[in-house]
């Protein structure tokens, strides 16, 4: 097993499946009255958030606490981080405090990898989102949720057709998901306006489409991405109305999806922009499952990184 | 690779353990079997079948994974998890018989007792093992033993079961 979780590309298919299988057993345990396991008693996990995030931070916090670890939340606002302390000094501080694991969210791509590679600290580093690069635990919880609903006999995602729709350019969720879902055997299609696709998307080895309506009934999963308005400092599309009309999941498109298909969204949603309220709340929507599964997948990640050694 | 038990001997040991469980608990009415994955769970399913045949009534059995409760996780690669399935009737106020294949240091059983406590308070907890190889590191003993096998610490006891290994046998490996 790897010693940090920085990128999906560091994981082999077997390692990824091992995380999902472990999460599945942990999910079963947490469904019983027993919500707490003693496994990481006495270990300290620091949530180091240089960027606002409520759901990811509380999901990691819940996961760590269910494994009996001590959790320290360290967010940029109102801390030494906002006073300009460098990543290195922060890491040295965490090392001095004896952090066994650090969950890091940072606006710069590669921040987690830098923290892991510089030997400033000995603890395991988990990337909880670095810039527009990756968000591996989100991809793992998405794969877990898909597998939960559309399980095949091989235990992976082979023969599934998955559409990832919207702001791929700014989305670390999309990048991690493309890597993981392809690794697990799924056929991934990216659907976005050309302005919201990365320049190098041709090298990702996935299908790219500009028309959401084409063969809409062939997707097993439709994963909507949040339009990241806060990362947009210029016009990427003419108007929100036009974006919504061409790339939003509305009631009409929802009705044209196949019977067993799933609707997913990593949250937080811009209801009415990339996804309509009736789609988000429909029977096909597994958005609430994604949140719930996030805790199990993060428990599995923490256990596999910190439980041994 | 000394053979310790062959297939008929394993069956006879399990049958004897089943009789002892009935004798100790005066029937199986309030007994629930909890096997420790992987092979303890298989043995507990076999025991449940034998007990049901002997008594003419069904008996609940489940599994309990102890991994997350172990005190020796650090210093080795992370173990993959087994399945926990507590029977519908629960374990509260029941006579719980833990079933495992080999009793060695006793650390698995200590972890199992912790894990079990999370699911309720049994009236009693008893322990059935196919092989007791000695070298306990904790004050734990088995109530029902298939066979006591003196070993030294360096040896490995290998239990193979038909369900997953293709045949039934117990061997000691690494004996000089």
The three state secondary structure string of B119-131 is CCCCCEEEEEEEE
- Cis amide leading into B35 (omega within 30): no
Q: How confident is the model at residue B133 (pLDDT cuts 50, 70, 90)?
A: very high
Is A172 exposed, middle or buried, given 0-12, 13-18 or 19+ CB atoms closer than 10 A?
A: buried
Residue of A135, A170, A175, A298 with catalytic role: A135
Distance CA B68, CA A296 (A): 14
What's the pLDDT at A18? Answer: 94
pLDDT of the residue at A14: 95
Pairwise CA distance, residues A126 & A45, whole Å: 10
Spatial distance between the Cα atoms of B24 and B16, rounded to a whole number of angstroms: 12
β-strand partners of A72: A46
User: For an interface test with B, which of A303, A305, A306 has the most B Cβ atoms less than 10 Å from its Cβ?
Assistant: A303
- Cα gap B15→B43, rounded to integer Å: 11
Contact: A303, B74; criterion CB under 8 Å: no
Nearest to A143 by CA among A105, A112, A182, A169: A182
Whole-number Cα distances in Å, A279 to A76, A79, A241, A275: 35, 40, 17, 6
Q: Region B15-20: what's the mean pLDDT? A: 98
Edge-to-edge strand order for the sheet containing A70-75?
Answer: A70-75, A44-49, A101-106, A124-130
Model confidence band, residue B19 (pLDDT cutoffs 50, 70, 90):
very high
Instruction: Calculate mean pLDDT across residues B155-176.
Output: 92
DSSP state of A303: I
Q: Where in chain A is the domain with CATH 3.40.50.1370?
A: 8-134+291-307, 136-286
The tokens describing A241, both together, are: 């109305």
- Predicted confidence (pLDDT) per residue in B24-56, tens digit: 999 999 999 999 999 999 999 999 999 999 999
Indicate if A83 belongs to the active site. yes
Is residue B175's pLDDT more than 80?
A: no
Tell me what pLDDT residue A34 has. 67
Residue B12: Cβ within 10 Å count = 12
Chain A closest CA to B110's CA: distance in Å? 13
Q: What residues in chain A have per-residue pLDDT under 50?
A: none
Q: What percent of chain B has pLDDT over 70?
A: 99
- Residue B74 confidence class, pLDDT cut points 50, 70, 90: confident
Q: What is the pLDDT of residue A87?
A: 85
- Predicted pLDDT of residue B141: 97
How many angstroms separate the CA atoms of B111 and B65, rounded?
9
A59 alpha carbon, distance to own chain's centre = 11
Question: Residue B116's closest chain A neighbor by CA?
Answer: A34
* Residues of chain B positioned with their CB less than 8 A from the CB of A39: 68-69, 73
CATH T-level topology, domain A8-134+291-307: Rossmann fold (3.40.50)
Minimal CA separation from A48 to chain B, in Å = 24
Catalytic residue list contains A56: yes
Chain B hits for A303, Cβ within 8 Å? 68, 78
Which pLDDT score, from 0 to 100, does residue A153 have?
Answer: 81
- Across the interface, whether the CB atoms of A32 and B86 are under 8 A apart is answered yes
Fold classification of A136-286 is Rossmann fold (3.40.50)
Interchain proximity B84–A28, CB inside 8 Å: yes
Task: Give me the domains of chain B, ranges plus CATH numbers.
Answer: 2-70+83-173 (3.40.50.2020)
- Residues A34 and B86: their CA atoms lie apart, in Å, by 12
The residue of B74, B84, B107, B118 whose CB has the most chain A CBs within 10 angstroms, and thus the best one to mutate to test that interface, is B118
A135 is catalytic: yes
Whether A151 sits among the annotated catalytic residues: the reply is no
Confidence at residue A259, expressed as pLDDT on a 0 to 100 scale: 93
**Mean pLDDT of the residues in chain B:** 94
CB B138 within 8 A of CB B18: no
């Amino acid at each position: 097993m790897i010693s940090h979780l920085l990128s999906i590309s560091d994981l082999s298919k077997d390692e990824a499946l091992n995380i999902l299988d472990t999460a599945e057993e942990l999910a079963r345990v947490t469904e019983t009255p027993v919500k707490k396991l003693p496994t990481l008693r006495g270990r300290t996990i620091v949530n180091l958030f240089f960027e606002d995030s409520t759901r990811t931070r509380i999901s990691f916090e819940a996961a760590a606490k269910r494994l009996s670890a001590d959790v320290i939340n360290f967010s940029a606002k109102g801390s030494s981080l906002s006073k300009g302390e460098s990543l290195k000094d922060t890491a040295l501080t965490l090392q001095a405090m004896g952090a066994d694991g650090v969950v890091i969210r940072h606006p710069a791509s590669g921040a987690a990898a830098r923290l892991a590679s510089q030997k400033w600290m000995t603890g395991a580093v988990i990337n909880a989102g670095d810039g527009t690069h990756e968000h591996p635990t989100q991809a793992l919880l998405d794969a877990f949720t898909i597998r939960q609903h559309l399980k095949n006999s091989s235990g992976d995602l082979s023969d599934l057709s998955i559409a990832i729709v919207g702001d791929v350019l700014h989305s670390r969720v999309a990048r991690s998901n493309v890597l993981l879902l392809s690794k697990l055997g799924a056929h991934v299609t990216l659907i976005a306006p050309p302005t919201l696709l990365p320049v190098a998307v041709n090298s990702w080895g996935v299908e790219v489409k500009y028309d959401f309506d084409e063969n809409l009934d062939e997707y097993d999963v439709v994963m909507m991405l949040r339009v990241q308005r806060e990362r947009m400092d210029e016009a990427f599309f003419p108007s929100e109305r036009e974006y919504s009309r061409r790339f939003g999941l509305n009631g009409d498109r929802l009705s044209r999806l196949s019977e067993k298909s799933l609707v997913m969204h990593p949250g937080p949603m811009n209801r009415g922009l990339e996804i309509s309220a009736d789609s988000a709340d429909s029977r096909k929507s597994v958005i609430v499952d994604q949140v719930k599964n996030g805790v199990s997948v993060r428990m599995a990640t923490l256990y596999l990184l910190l439980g041994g050694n | 690779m000394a053979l310790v038990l062959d297939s008929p001997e394993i069956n006879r040991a399990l049958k004897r353990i089943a009789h002892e469980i009935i004798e100790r608990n005066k029937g199986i009415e309030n007994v629930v079997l909890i096997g420790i994955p992987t092979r303890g769970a298989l043995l507990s399913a076999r025991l449940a079948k034998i007990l049901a045949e002997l008594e003419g009534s069904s008996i609940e059995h489940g599994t309990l994974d102890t991994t997350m409760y172990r005190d020796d996780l650090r210093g080795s690669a992370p173990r993959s998890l087994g399945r926990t399935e507590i029977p519908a009737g629960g374990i509260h106020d029941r006579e719980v018989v833990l079933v495992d294949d080999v009793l060695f240091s006793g650390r698995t059983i200590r972890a199992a007792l912790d894990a079990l406590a999370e699911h309720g308070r049994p009236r009693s907890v008893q322990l059935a093992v196919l092989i007791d190889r000695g070298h306990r590191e904790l004050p734990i003993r088995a109530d029902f033993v298939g066979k006591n096998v003196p070993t030294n610490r360096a040896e490995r006891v290998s239990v193979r079961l038909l369900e997953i290994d293709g045949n039934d046998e117990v061997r000691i490996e690494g004996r000089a």
